[in-house]
Amino acid sequence: MLIPATRPPALLSGTVPLLETDPWFAGLPPACRGWLAAAAARRTLAEGERAYRVGGPPDGLYRVLSGGVRLISYPQPGRSLVNLTVPAGRWFGALSTLDGQAQAHDAVAMGRTALLHLPMADIAALAAVTPDLHRHITLLACQQQRAAIEHVGLLLLRSPPARLARLLLDMADGGRLRINREDLAGRIGLSRQGLHQLLTETEQAGLIRSQYGRIDILDPEGLSALAR
């Protein structure tokens, strides 16, 4: 005997509201919105898990629902650089989706992260009949590029101590943050040795206490002065 469906199916009530509140999605041609909502799938990543890897095939678009994602490239063997941090509400993945080339970075979850994924095959099929979809994806690529220019610009303009101070103040929760050294080095654009030197100096100045996997802020005002 068939059990009548008295509620909207979970699948539809699940993804559509997540997209309807997104300004980029709302601006898409109406013909595309329904199809992409039907194709959208939720993905949950654990801390450090990757949505895709550098060199991997184009994988479509991702929207961060909660948590965050770091886009990390490897300019030299053994050196990593955070090109951009993607917060909740923003999209990533547009670059490979547009040019069809390999992924330019790892997309790594910052803490437990929920994503909404629009698969590549669906985007390609839709774009074949609605070419304007590509123009809309270009807007996401531009948004990402502008954010990256700002991020990298600040990275280059600020001195390494100022970068470290700004990052510690932004990330600390109750005067403390947990982060591994490699991650920290990548985010402020230093080698691990360079970072070690900088942490030692900052600790000697009495601003922080640095331990394995953990940094405590001892002097927030001193750190703020350093960040400026």
Residues that bind another protein (CB under 8 A): 2-5, 9, 11, 35, 38-39, 121-122, 124-126, 128-129
Question: What is the rounded distance in angstroms from the CA atom of residue 59 to the CA atom of residue 51?
Answer: 9
CB nearer another protein, residue 39 or residue 162: 39
What distance lies between CA 41 and its chain's CA centroid? 18
Structure-token pair, residue 112: 């437990």
For the bound state, the minimum distance from the C-beta of residue 39 to another protein, rounded and expressed in Å, comes to 5
Q: What are phi and psi of 26, to 5 degrees?
A: -65, -25
For the bound state, the minimum distance from the C-beta of residue 9 to another protein, rounded and expressed in Å, comes to 5
The Cα angle at residue 77 between residues 73 and 81, in degrees rounded to 5: 30
For the bound state, the minimum distance from the C-beta of residue 18 to another protein, rounded and expressed in Å, comes to 16
For the bound state, the minimum distance from the C-beta of residue 25 to another protein, rounded and expressed in Å, comes to 16
What distance lies between CA 8 and its chain's CA centroid? 32
User: Is 93 in contact with 50 (CB distance < 8 Å)?
Assistant: no
Structure-token pair, residue 150: 């700002």
Write down the number of H helices and E strands in the chain: 10, 11
CB nearer another protein, residue 2 or residue 156: 2
CB nearer another protein, residue 100 or residue 175: 100
For the bound state, the minimum distance from the C-beta of residue 200 to another protein, rounded and expressed in Å, comes to 45
CB nearer another protein, residue 31 or residue 149: 31
DSSP codes joined into one string, 46-66: -TT-EEE-TTPPP--EEEEEE
CB nearer another protein, residue 16 or residue 162: 16
The Cα angle at residue 191 between residues 185 and 193, in degrees rounded to 5: 105
For the bound state, the minimum distance from the C-beta of residue 118 to another protein, rounded and expressed in Å, comes to 11
CB nearer another protein, residue 7 or residue 228: 7
